[in-house]
């Protein structure tokens, strides 16, 4: 696990990063540690690289997503506490007073039961409440419908409802950056609901327009290259690349799934070297899911 101050953003932003692929870990970390999960089963999403973000004014912070387990969330929050006590004011994150969940999937909400978050206020989009109840997770203290504004010190954070990846997506935008959850992913989007891929394409287009209207030029996904995230995240073209991928998958599944993700990369504005083994696996899963929706007549590689 790594704790970094995210560089090159107008708002003070920190990130806890776990997992990912060797050679893509965050560089120049404020802290790093190996975390013993004890009796917890490791989440396969950790192979993608998983990030929890902190928007901070140095005294208080908003946590965005909670990693894939309570043990990992606690380890991250211990790093935050150590950073607060380190004597460098620039690296003070402050007390986590608010937790915003990007959406309902387990790899984003699992850390919510960490004891260090007991006093924090949990905020979600309306549709996340039911999913948390079904998961026997802590209910939110506050929900919103279309948008909301939170205060972190003197900064206003705009929460925006996204419906590309799921029906309950939340983005958190401040200054020149927007925290995206799984609405945009590095390398490609996981198609969680293959029966609605056309809606996902349309809704991601709306998300891109909404983010542009915020004056944002950097997007921070929940998963992907840890070093890129630490250096200031990704340009908005990441979301446009995701859109291209979805369009290719929707228009000619057989051709798309006859290629590896490395082979597809130039068609979605990426380099083959950007593609990780874990996301190559996501592409195969997407192919299988869409093939089943189409009656099982088409199959991807492997």
Which pLDDT belongs to residue 296? 53
Looking at domain 2-293, its CATH class is alpha beta
pLDDT of residue 174: 96
CA dist 269 and 4 (Å) reads: 28
Q: What is the pLDDT of residue 241?
A: 98
The Cα 128–Cα 139 span in angstroms is: 9
Predicted confidence at residue 268, as pLDDT, reads 98
Q: What is the pLDDT of residue 300?
A: 35
pTM above 0.85, yes or no: yes
User: Can you give the pLDDT at residue 40?
Assistant: 86
Q: Cα(first)–Cα(last) distance of the chain, in Å?
A: 32
Q: Which residue ranges in the chain fall short of pLDDT 70?
A: 296-302
Residue ranges covered by each domain of the chain: 2-293
Q: What pLDDT does 273 receive?
A: 95
Q: pLDDT tens across 82-112, in order? A: 999 988 888 999 999 999 999 999 999 999 9
pLDDT at 86: 84
Question: pLDDT tens-digit profile of 256-276?
Answer: 999 999 999 999 999 999 999
Task: Please report the pLDDT score of residue 301 as a whole number.
Answer: 28
Helix axes 277-293, 237-251, angle to 10 degrees: 40
Token duo for residue 148:
């909301």
């Amino acid at each position: 696990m790594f704790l970094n101050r995210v560089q090159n953003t107008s708002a003070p932003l920190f990130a806890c990063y776990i997992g990912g692929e060797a050679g893509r870990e965050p560089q120049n970390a404020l802290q790093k540690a190996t975390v013993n999960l004890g009796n917890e089963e490791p989440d396969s999403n950790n192979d993608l690289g998983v990030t929890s973000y902190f928007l901070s004014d140095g005294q208080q912070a908003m946590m965005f997503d909670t990693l894939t387990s309570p043990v990992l969330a606690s380890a991250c929050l211990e790093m935050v506490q150590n950073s607060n006590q380190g004597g460098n004011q620039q690296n003070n994150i402050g007390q986590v007073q608010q937790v915003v969940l990007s959406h309902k999937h387990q790899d984003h909400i699992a850390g919510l039961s960490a004891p260090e978050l007991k006093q924090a206020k949990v905020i979600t989009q309306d549709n996340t409440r039911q999913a948390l109840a079904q998961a026997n997770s802590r209910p939110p203290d506050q929900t919103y419908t279309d948008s909301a504004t939170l205060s972190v010190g003197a900064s206003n954070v705009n929460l925006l409802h996204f419906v590309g990846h799921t029906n309950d997506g939340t983005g958190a935008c401040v200054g020149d950056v927007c925290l995206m959850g799984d609405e945009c992913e590095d390398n490609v989007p996981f198609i969680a609901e293959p029966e609605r891929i056309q809606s996902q394409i349309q809704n991601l287009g709306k998300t891109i327009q909404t983010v542009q209207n915020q004056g944002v030029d950097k997007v921070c996904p929940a998963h992907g290259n840890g070093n890129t995230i630490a250096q200031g995240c990704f340009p908005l073209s990441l979301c446009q690349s995701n859109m291209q991928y979805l369009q290719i998958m929707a228009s000619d599944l057989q051709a798309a799934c006859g290629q590896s993700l490395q082979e597809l990369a130039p068609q979605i504005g990426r380099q083959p070297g950007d593609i990780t083994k874990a996301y190559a696996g996501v592409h195969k899963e997407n192919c299988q899911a869409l093939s089943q929706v189409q009656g099982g007549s088409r199959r991807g590689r492997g």
